[in-house]
A and B are shown apart, each in its own frame.
Chain A
Amino acid sequence: MSLIPAALATATALAGAGALAGCALPYRQRVPVVGVLTAGVGAGGCTAGAAALSGSRWSAAFPGLLPLAGAHVAVDALAGLFMAVAGAVVVAVAVYGIGYAAGHGAHGLGSHSAQAVLPLFALTLVLVPVAASVSTFLALWEVMALASLLLVLAEHRERVSVRQAGIWYAVMTHLGLVLLLAGFALFAAQTGGETFAALRAGAHTVSPAVRGLVFVLVMLAFASKAGAVPLHAWLPRAHPEAPSPVSALMSAAMVNLGIYGLVRTGFDLLGGGPAWWWLGLIAVGGASAVYGILQAAMASDLKRLLAYSTSENIGLVLIGVGASGLFAAYGNRPLAALALAAALLHVVNHAAFKALLFCAAGAVLRATGLRDLDRMGGLRAPMPVTAGLFALGALGAVALPPGNGFVSEWLLLQSLIHGLAVPGVAVAVVLPLSVALIALSAGIAAAVFVKALGVGFFARPRSTQAAAAKEAPRLMLAAMALLGAGCAALALVPGLLGDGLDRAVDAVGLPGSGAVSDGGLKVRLTDVSATLSPLWVAAALTTALALAVGLPRLYGRRRRRVNARLWDCGGGAPTPRMAYTATSFAEPLQRVFDDVLAPEQDVDVTPVRESAYLVERVRFQHRVPDRIEHRLYEPVLRSLAGAGQAARRLAGGSVHLYLGYGFAGLVVLLLILAVGW
């Protein structure tokens, strides 16, 4: 099949042209040209991915492309799935980005550097799954990290917080790279080859302890890229501060690649492993799911809320991947295939609705300059299309029918519930617990998105910016509508993805489960079978809704409708200040989870100088800090800073001392060489 290489070569060429155009063209032409070329990159990736999902494979080696080892590439269905998702997201977001950056000034996303880097970032998103050797993978991975870092920093002139977010992101992504490098280097040294084929072939000769170490190192790196708790600290910083199209790309495409790396390494290269690997993964996933959605419930910054929700969804995916590995470790391969299919389907669904939500949040940000939900409100009237599309995305995110998130979470729950058939104490404890965690996170997610939609778009505007909002440009709406159509398709006819999903699961050596097919969702195990047709569920819901709305109207037509002022108990007309804000909406939840969240309150009363009983001013401050960050990161940062201070003593100022360091280093190195021979 020559479709895959042709599509990938086109994507690469378009990305190169896009980078050049971003450097060279003046502002007016730059944004549309780069946007179109980037969309082309995405289309190329999507085509190649779709071809791989429909069964074709491709592999090649380019010896001269990278020094020493050369570049190796291979495309199978698993890579195809992630390429197709990334490509589709890139297409929509690139079109959206044209509208977003146009008329926004030549700074920020419209600047030369950002526009030159954008196509490269898009290309690496598509190409990372293609890599088939350690050096190729790491090179693409690092280019992706650097490109995304530059894009996160695009608006560094507007806000100081962007720089801080950039530093956090840079440090964490490079720590991840170090772990990845260590893990893969160890693995490659043990198997004697660095291509994925050699790793796959040699994995069984490696001792279990080394395999475990490799898995832990690689898992930490990929989990940090995916934004799983407790390695998520960069995510709620970088996603809100990046320009919205970049947030959408990072949250809907880049984060997925962490999952890809985990599945590729854990299942394919290492060939599965003992139960403790996967129990650890489930623990990380469960913590991410619950903690992420709790923090999202507390957030009043719309993009921060979406970022924490990404953490939650990645947690769900990790539970699925972990469960799949666990079932495979106990030998129940059909169930393992089902869990993995559910996890991969959730990756696809999450990409669709999260891209849509970030784009809609970007449209709001562009129209009002606001990210703070407390100051929005009433956006439905001036921005009806954006509000409708945000509602569609939110429906996907809350995991209720007929949203697309429901489909994959239903499959995930099915696989976990039926997993109780697998023997073992750990399984009997962990599986019910994770079912409960998923249910809890789904429940809180409903509250989160009711808050985001209701407080942000309904009621009355709570600030002048929100009152003066205008609908987003047509181009942005068209791109969001594209993503919305994707969400709807995934929600109603997930069967379209069925065969591809089976091939992707098959690519890591598990049997295809046929879980998703034309007739809807099917769970077929040895002694159980369950079926769910999303289309019928949606139809039933629509009918029920129509009946619930229509019957009373028919029945109550005789009654005359009187329009009168709302009875207000003599308090005057309701003002915007009476409406729920994001903070007040989340307050009951915060009370329930008081011990977990540990909110900080600070009341500061300043009396008048003459009398202690007359109050001049009351200051009330309320914060919900990220507790994991407090407990885990701050001690580390403090000790690092302390070590840095102590190390200053090494630099005494004497030239002889500095020369002595060099001399001692050289002599010690030579001694080691001499003795080591």
Chain B
Amino acid sequence: MNGGLYTQLLDLACGLFLLAAVLVLWVRELAVIVRIFALQGIALAALAVLLGAHEQRWDLIGVGIGIGLLRAGVLPYLMRRALAAITADRQRYGTAVAESRETQPLVNVAASLLTAALLTLLAYAVARPLTELNPTPATRALPVGLAVVLIGFFVLVTRRRALAQVVGFLLLDNGITATAFLATSGVPLIVELGVSFDVLLAVLVLQILTTRMREAFGTTDIDDLRELHD
């Protein structure tokens, strides 16, 4: 693969990656959010495979494919199942629409998008000295990973639905993985395996918690949980 093509493909993957994160903020329908998250997983996998192909390291390509399977396949499947469980028995009461939509985020969509722009700017500003250390195409794309970390955190802070929270957490984790790939040109297989396993378990636990929450309170709005204080 020649250098120009590699750079363009890498930039494309990173662009998709960031765009997916911003779209999560824009869209209200939870089912669509899950689909966007799967798209981001594909972008992340493409990123890893591209890096692997560029440096001709087969283990990196393997890691990339594994990431793709997990983040674009298994995790979205689990979340769709949780969503189906939440909405299924609610349809007869006519509240299913409210449960499957992020109707009232703490910060409205327009402000969220503006904040995302600011956070991306911040990520670029912070990462500048890092990029200057070794300006390759991969490190130049480093701010994208940081921006997704910040946007994921922002989703966690502002979204009410439990499932949106799970997506926020996964965005955060995707961002960290992307940063690791771009900064170090590939994490060892064993580390990535551990991280992926961790994420899978976290999502499984959160899925169960979400279902339980709905059973106990009839809603998955986490702002109703206010007992956790001194």
Q: Mark B140-169, 1 if CB is under 8 A from A, else 0.
A: 000000000010011011101000000000
A residues near B156, Cβ cutoff 8 Å:
659, 663
A278 to B158, CA, bound (A): 58
> A666 near B: Cβ within 8 Å?
yes
Q: Mark A628-650, 1 if CB is under 8 A from B, else 0.
A: 00000000000000000000100
Q: Mark B117-136, 1 if CB is under 8 A from A, else 0.
A: 00100110110110000000
Q: Mark A511-524, 1 if CB is under 8 A from B, else 0.
A: 00000000000000
A670 to B156, CA, bound (A): 18
Could you tell me the dominant secondary structure of chain A's interface residues? helix
Q: Are A653 and B150 in contact (CB under 8 A)?
A: no
A677 to B129, CA, bound (A): 8
B residues near A670, Cβ cutoff 8 Å:
122-123, 126, 150
A657 → B minimal CB distance (Å): 9
B183 → A minimal CB distance (Å): 16
A658 to B226, CA, bound (A): 11
A residues near B226, Cβ cutoff 8 Å:
652-654
Given B119, B123, B126, B158, which contacts A656 in the complex, CB threshold below 8 Å? B158
Q: Are B154 and A656 in contact (CB under 8 A)?
A: no
Considering only residues 208-230 of chain B, those with a C-beta below 8 Å from chain A are 222-223, 225-230
B residues near A654, Cβ cutoff 8 Å:
223, 225-226
> B106 near A: Cβ within 8 Å?
yes
> A662 near B: Cβ within 8 Å?
yes
Q: Mark B33-52, 1 if CB is under 8 A from A, else 0.
A: 00000000000000000000
Given A653, A656, A667, which contacts B106 in the complex, CB threshold below 8 Å? A656
B residues near A663, Cβ cutoff 8 Å:
153-154, 156-157
A650 → B minimal CB distance (Å): 9
B residues near A653, Cβ cutoff 8 Å:
225-229
Question: How many Cβ-Cβ contacts under 8 Å join chain A to chain B?
Answer: 50
> A674 near B: Cβ within 8 Å?
yes
B residues near A549, Cβ cutoff 8 Å:
none
A residues near B153, Cβ cutoff 8 Å:
659, 662-663, 666
B residues near A660, Cβ cutoff 8 Å:
157
B109 → A minimal CB distance (Å): 17
> A655 near B: Cβ within 8 Å?
yes
Q: Are B229 and A652 in contact (CB under 8 A)?
A: yes
Closest to B156 in A: A659
A residues near B150, Cβ cutoff 8 Å:
666-667, 670
Chain B count of residues within 8 A CB distance of the other chain: 23
A651 to B227, CA, bound (A): 10
Closest to B159 in A: A656
B residues near A569, Cβ cutoff 8 Å:
none
- Which of B119, B122, B126 has the most chain A CB atoms closer than 10 A to its own CB? B126
B residues near A422, Cβ cutoff 8 Å:
none
Q: Mark A582-611, 1 if CB is under 8 A from B, else 0.
A: 000000000000000000000000000000
> A436 near B: Cβ within 8 Å?
no
A660 to B155, CA, bound (A): 10
Knowing A652-B226, A653-B227, A656-B222 are in contact, say whether A674-B157 is a contact too (CB < 8 A): no
Closest to A669 in B: B126
A residues near B228, Cβ cutoff 8 Å:
653, 655, 658
A670 to B118, CA, bound (A): 12
A648 to B128, CA, bound (A): 39
A670 to B160, CA, bound (A): 26
A414 to B126, CA, bound (A): 66
A392 → B minimal CB distance (Å): 56
B residues near A667, Cβ cutoff 8 Å:
119, 122, 150
A231 → B minimal CB distance (Å): 31
Knowing A674-B126, A677-B129 are in contact, say whether A651-B154 is a contact too (CB < 8 A): no
Q: Are A648 and B230 in contact (CB under 8 A)?
A: yes
Considering only residues 81-140 of chain B, those with a C-beta below 8 Å from chain A are 106, 119, 122-123, 125-126, 128-129
A656 to B226, CA, bound (A): 10
A residues near B229, Cβ cutoff 8 Å:
648, 651-653
Q: Are A656 and B227 in contact (CB under 8 A)?
A: no
B227 → A minimal CB distance (Å): 6
A residues near B125, Cβ cutoff 8 Å:
674
Given B119, B157, B227, B230, which contacts A659 in the complex, CB threshold below 8 Å? B157
> A673 near B: Cβ within 8 Å?
yes
Closest to B125 in A: A674
A655 to B222, CA, bound (A): 7
Q: Mark A61-79, 1 if CB is under 8 A from B, else 0.
A: 0000000000000000000
9 residue pairs from A and B, CB less than 8 Å apart: A651-B230, A653-B228, A656-B158, A656-B222, A658-B228, A660-B157, A666-B150, A667-B150, A670-B123
Which 9 residue pairs of A and B lie closest in terms of their CB atoms, listed nearest first? A653-B229, A674-B125, A653-B226, A651-B229, A659-B157, A663-B157, A674-B126, A660-B157, A670-B126
Q: Which residues from chain B sit less than 8 Å from chain A, CB to CB?
A: 106, 119, 122-123, 125-126, 128-129, 150, 153-154, 156-158, 160, 222-223, 225-230
Can you add 19 more A-B contacts, CB < 8 Å, to A656-B222, A666-B153? Answer: A648-B229, A651-B230, A652-B226, A652-B229, A654-B226, A655-B225, A655-B228, A656-B157, A656-B160, A659-B156, A660-B157, A663-B154, A663-B157, A667-B119, A670-B122, A670-B126, A674-B122, A674-B125, A677-B128
